[in-house]
Structure 1
Amino acid sequence: MAINLMLVISGLIACILIVYAHYYNKRIHMQEKYEIDNLVDSLHIAEMEEYHILFLSYDNYYFKNIDKLLETIDEKYVVILTAPIWLYKRKVKHWRNHMVINSTDVESSIDYFKRYEYIKYQKYSKNLLKNDSAYFSLICINKERKV
């Protein structure tokens, strides 16, 4: 009988922990969406159905490959570039299809530079897709479109 009571109590504790973890993750997701929404608003980006945001640093291992991909991709990306000013100005000219923003113009409270390199954001949707590799995200997106 004591064993049954212990099983019931441990089951209840497990359920409570699962519910707590679910709501905690949901709260984090909503906070991230709110931060990206504020970022898009602060940059005065034109209204789009879907935002593809790249947080890109010039010292990224795949920078040359990403550079070539961005020159060929037709879809508009928002590229927040961390680079010397001369390189930033050069990329603004080369990546005319995309909106290139110097990372110094972005609010420093945004912590996405360290966590993610690619974010797909839809303003009126609950979806917020994130990836820590801009290069592999671009490769996958282009393969999906070509198929």
Structure 2
Amino acid sequence: MDYEPRCSFCRPKRFWPVIDDALRTAACDRRVNVRLLLSCWRHSKPSMFLFLESLSILSHPPLGCPIEVKLFVVPSGGERPEIPYAHVSHNKYMVTDQLAYIGTSNWSEDYFVNTTGVGLVVRQQGSAAGLTLRDQLKDVFLRDWSSPHVKPLGRHPECAKA
């Protein structure tokens, strides 16, 4: 849902590069394809977009690191009633070539270090009985990645101002 490689609620704020460094290293050193799909809504922090832009810029020549970043915008307004903290994708998961991670934490230090969130790492063998949880999450991600609700990462995304 949210991505901010720092301690968001600390005073003073401090940089927390653990996840950010891992993503950059995977893409730029090991050439792992990294795709990030982040929620964009009225409660998105402006700093999140700057951090995402700093990741996305690595895909440009001459670096060419395989990193793609998009924004997921759940439509609101019209006949949809206004519900606080709704009209946003609250997904917090990661899919790799071998496993899936599902968690309750936004990707910032506060949530990983100072809250009592939970995370589950699943590694399953494929079977004739059906898709693994990892396969199912990959399918959900690919569905959302190509959804009409996905917008390109922009310098000043309008979805955060809604």
TM-score w.r.t. length of structure 2: 0.31
Name the one with the larger helix percent. Answer: 1
Larger Rg: 1
Q: Which has the higher contact order (CA 8 A, sep 6+)?
A: 2
TM-score w.r.t. length of structure 1: 0.34
